[in-house]
Chains A and B, each alone.
Chain A
Amino acid sequence: MAALVIADHDGTALDPATLNAVSAAVRFEGDIDLLVAGGGTGTVAEAAAKIAGITRVRHADDPAYDHLLAEAVAPLVVELAADYSEILFPANTTGKNLAPRVAALLDVAQISDITEVIAPDTFVRPIYAGNAMATVRSSDAIKVITVRGTAFPAATQDGSAPIEPVAAGEGQTLSHFVRQELSKSERPELTSARVVVSGGRGMQSSENFHLVEEIADRLGAAVGASRAAVDAGYRPNDFQVGQTGKVVAPELYVAVGISGAIQHLAGMKDSKVIVAINKDEEAPMVQIADYGLVDDLFKALPALAEALDKAGVKPR
């Protein structure tokens, strides 16, 4: 049987989390189709067709699917489901919104946030904020899965699969898109960045975050934040790293003025190298860090910027 991966996109560009979901689909060793849904999404379908390892792109080019509203897209996926033994979504906000709706309509369980495929019916997933890893086996005929992006590499984009149109179903009147306020940034996207520099409550104000940005820009890093920093309004919600925010696993994670609560650690503890800058030696973040600098951040950050310049460090 085959796997269907639901592509995430913003109407014009493929969301890179889709590439990690494809890598998880490869583990099932069958054909892999990719569904691209949304009006005027030709460029997305073309980008999707280049993903290595996929068999074909199924393209539902219809405005009924704009913004990937769950009420519209779930019935479409259900209609296609008979051809598949696995349906995979990236475990980002699009996938998390959509996948359970599909699973319930198919009367199957959903397996959330998998980090490993042990066998076609057996998966590993984190529970309790990543403090435990559960191995679960599904008895359902169709496996509906969300894929934790940090646990699977991004598929390469050197393939060329055919694009086949899919007829749109009936429209729906349950929900409609009203507006969006998306954060604009020149910096890399948080969940796929090679380096992340995050600030916490210790930053004390939104203005002080420029100290974090100075470091981020020297390293070509994305900027993140703790829940406390987001709740205090220092940075918007989409900066939140953690159990209930975004999960990141960069090569380098720098935590500045973040204590290291389990909910925050859940979102970053799989990073390759962790640096903590904190004035409290006892902070859990300092305890788990590969390199802990115990110092006042208002002194340490400007000095670090200078030291990076002196050492000739440039973004990679």
Chain B
Amino acid sequence: MKVLVGVKRVVDYNVKVRVKADRTGVETANVKMSMNPFDEIAVEEAIRMKEAGTADEIVAVSMGSRQCQETIRTALAMGADRGIHVLTDEELQPLAVAKLFKALVERENPGLVILGKQAIDDDSNQTGQMLAALLGWPQGTFASEIVLSGDGAEVTREVDGGLETVGLAIPAVVTTDLRLNEPRYASLPNIMKAKKKPIDQLAVDELGVDVAPRLETLKVEDPPARAGGRKVASVEELVDKLKNEAGVI
């Protein structure tokens, strides 16, 4: 079975982003970029499937600027077999990303597509579900366990009340949650080997997809600031303040 994984290039999770002075977005120039952490989990899961003999090829896909190549190289160094880079400098919204993925799925015929449950920049949590809809495939979102059997998959999902397990026909789309696995670090020899693995580059036009944004960002602002930082010296003072000053207990 072939597995397609999404690897999005995002602002590193350790960076505290700043809103640009002109309020058009956040500052991304000279900011550390990394693979979306949920996508590292997706790559890791695919590699484990290959190690277990249930997957035979892993294709890592990234969409966006030229620098997405680095993100794909990271996936290749972890253990993906080859990459596909859909090159564009346009803003891609989740519906557009899902349509591009659909076009790639039709070329590649994977048995499973694994995406992150959300990208930590735009926090949309949409792409996987949209892709499943467009393909008419089932979806196993927020997965903390994937068990493959002959013609299907059982996916355990992290839901508000606890855990839910669903059975899915294959092919299917799965999106990863934090507890699915712990991604490995690429070893130096594997980083060297990854340099020789192939990456196909495609233009959006070649996939025949309309990626025009449907949502226009009018402005981006700072959230309301909190005035914190006051200290209390004892639990008694804390109880007194909560009772008589804040009035919340």
- Chain A residues packing against B (C-beta within 8 Å): 10, 67, 69-71, 74, 92-94, 96-105, 107-113, 122, 126-140, 173-183, 191, 195, 219, 227, 230-231, 236-238, 243-244, 246, 251-252, 262-263, 269, 272-275, 281, 286-294, 300, 303-304, 306-308, 311, 313, 316
Contacts and interface: CB of A to CB of B under 8 A. Distances in A.
B167 interface: yes
B94 A100 contact: yes
B52 interface: no
Interface string B224-243: 00101111101110111111
B19 interface: yes
A97 B129 contact: yes
Interface of B: 11, 13, 16-17, 19, 26, 38, 93-95, 98, 117-118, 120-134, 136-139, 141-142, 144, 154, 157-169, 177-179, 213-223, 226, 228-232, 234-236, 238-243, 246, 248-249
B163 A139 contact: no
A178 B165 contact: yes
A178 B142 CA distance: 16
B192 to A, nearest CB: 31
B126 A110 contact: yes
Nearest to B11: A128
Given A100-B125, A175-B167, A183-B161, A126 B223 contact: yes
Given A174-B138, A273-B246, A131 B223 contact: yes
Given A178-B166, A304-B239, A307-B239, A127 B229 contact: no
B151 to A, nearest CB: 12
A112 B129 contact: no
Contacts, number: 270
A138 B123 contact: no
A115 B74 CA distance: 36
Given A129-B123, A177-B166, A246 B160 contact: yes
Contacts of B98: 104
Given A173-B169, A227-B178, A243-B123, A101 B129 contact: yes
A236 B19 contact: no
B129 A104 contact: yes
A101 B139 contact: yes
Contact of B137 (A74, A94, A134, A174): A174
Contacts of B242: 252, 273, 275, 291
